[in-house]
């Protein structure tokens, strides 16, 4: 029996790649270089399945291929704003993602970033490494207490709820939520949370604001100068969602002029390029998109892709179908 042909756009954990090769006719990107748009278009034309990541922009031009062989795009990741969903539907190409399995690890990193920003850990480590520390003193690198403060969560899906669990039950934080849909009272009660109607309502209430909403055109620059001006002057902004959610120029100005307390980012608009405006901000913590970067999460993401592919090619509806 002929195995379905599958293109994997980047290197995955070795155990996952081995299982993929057992089940499918797989081409691995052994050089682990980002594929060009031409490469992706050729993949849609030539393989039964394409397995992209967040860095692979698959738009209408990549999907508009006469007699395309691909019938499924099995995304390695929960977010899929890098895939043109309307074009995929128009060309009868299914899209799946990998929810659930990275929620805890991404929330762990969001908590890490919040604590790092509040306690000025990057500044402290830099001082030590440069040999500039002169010893303990009462006014040295004074930060902000996290326990008992108010956390605003924008987007209350799986990751947002995991963030709320850590913040409320671990740090005694009050939780304020903004989400596109109405959250049930039972779910809110698990985290001692309240839901506000608008983002404008949420921003002034919070000592920390953590972003967990989808990216894409709908939420592009959701956080801009107007929203930043609504924040408390000592509040912190955390983003582990998608870079395009924040207008980075506006954020840099807020950080330069210290109209907010600070920020911590794991994702960037146009990554891996980082705006020089952001690089010049001393009150900003930055990580290179590490939200799901644990062995456990990255392996589980791959196995979830394999489950979706297996269901699809055996005639079942994949549980993680999004288009």
Residue with tokens 């969560």: 153
Mean pLDDT value of segment 23-35: 97
Distance CA 288, CA 266 (A): 6
Residue 228, classed as helix, strand or coil, is helix
Mean pLDDT value of segment 152-180: 98
- Per the residue annotation, which of 57, 119, 165, 289 is the catalytic one? 289
Distance CA 65, CA 187 (A): 44
Structure tokens at 243: 């870079």
Residue 69, classed as helix, strand or coil, is coil
Nearest Cα neighbor of 203 from 181, 180, 182, 233 is: 233
Distance CA 157, CA 303 (A): 22
pLDDT of amino acid 209:
99
- Per the residue annotation, which of 271, 298, 299, 321 is the catalytic one? 271
Which domains does the chain carry?
Answer: 5-99+295-313 (3.40.50.720), 103-286 (3.40.50.720)
- Asked whether 175 and 148 are in contact (CB, 8 A), the reply is no
pTM of this structure: 0.95
Mean pLDDT value of segment 284-306: 98
Q: What is the H or E stretch that residue 27 is in?
A: strand 25-27
Residue 190 annotated among the catalytic residues of the structure: no
Mean pLDDT value of segment 193-207: 98
pLDDT of amino acid 268:
98
Distance CA 292, CA 295 (A): 9
Radius of gyration over every alpha carbon of the chain, rounded to an integer in angstroms:
21
Alpha helices in the chain (DSSP H): 14-23, 37-46, 60-63, 85-90, 103-119, 121-129, 158-165, 171, 185-190, 199-202, 225-230, 248-256, 276-279, 295-313
**DSSP-derived secondary structure for 43-66:** HHHH-SEEE--TT--B-HHHH--T
pLDDT of amino acid 35:
97
- 223-265 pLDDT tens trace: 999 999 999 999 999 999 999 999 999 999 999 999 999 999 9
Q: 113 exposed, middle or buried (CB, 10 Å; 0-12, 13-18, 19+)?
A: buried
In which band, very low, low, confident or very high, does the pLDDT at 22 lie, cut at 50, 70 and 90?
very high
Q: Tell whether the model's pLDDT for residue 1 goes beyond 90.
A: no
Residue 271 annotated among the catalytic residues of the structure: yes
Q: What percent of the chain has pLDDT over 90?
A: 99
Mean pLDDT value of segment 293-302: 98
Residue with tokens 């404008």: 200
Mean pLDDT value of segment 163-171: 98
Mean pLDDT value of segment 275-294: 97
- Per the residue annotation, which of 242, 244, 248, 304 is the catalytic one? 242
Residue 289 annotated among the catalytic residues of the structure: yes
């Amino acid at each position: 029996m002929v195995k379905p042909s599958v293109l994997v756009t980047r290197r995955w954990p070795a155990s996952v790649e081995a299982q993929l090769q057992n089940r499918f006719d797989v081409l691995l990107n052994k050089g682990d270089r980002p594929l060009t748009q031409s490469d992706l278009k050729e993949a849609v034309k030539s393989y039964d399945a394409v397995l992209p990541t967040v860095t692979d922009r698959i738009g209408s031009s990549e999907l508009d291929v006469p007699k395309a062989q691909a019938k499924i795009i099995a995304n390695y990741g929960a977010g899929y704003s890098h895939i043109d969903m309307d074009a995929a539907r128009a060309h009868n190409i299914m899209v799946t993602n990998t929810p659930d399995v990275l929620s805890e690890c991404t929330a762990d990193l969001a908590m890490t970033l919040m604590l790092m920003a509040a306690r000025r850990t990057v500044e402290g480590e830099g001082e030590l490494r440069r040999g500039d520390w002169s010893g303990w003193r009462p006014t040295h690198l004074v930060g902000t207490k996290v326990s008992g403060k108010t956390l605003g969560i924008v987007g209350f899906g799986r990751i947002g709820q995991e963030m709320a669990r850590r913040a409320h039950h671990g740090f005694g934080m009050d939780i304020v939520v903004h989400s596109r849909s109405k959250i049930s009272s039972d779910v809110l009660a698990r985290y001692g949370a309240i839901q506000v109607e608008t983002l404008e309502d949420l921003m002034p209430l919070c000592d920390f604001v953590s972003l967990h909403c989808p990216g894409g055109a709908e939420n592009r620059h959701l956080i801009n100068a107007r929203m930043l001006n609504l924040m408390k002057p000592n509040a912190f902004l955390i983003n582990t969602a998608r870079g395009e959610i924040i207008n980075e120029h506006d954020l840099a100005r807020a950080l330069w002029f210290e109209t907010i307390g600070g920020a911590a980012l794991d994702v960037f608009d146009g990554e891996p390029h980082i705006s020089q405006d952001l690089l010049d901000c001393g009150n900003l913590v930055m990580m290179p998109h590490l939200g799901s970067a644990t062995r456990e999460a990255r392996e589980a993401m791959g196995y979830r892709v394999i489950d979706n592919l297996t269901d699809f090619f055996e005639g079942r509806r994949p549980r993680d179908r999004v288009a």
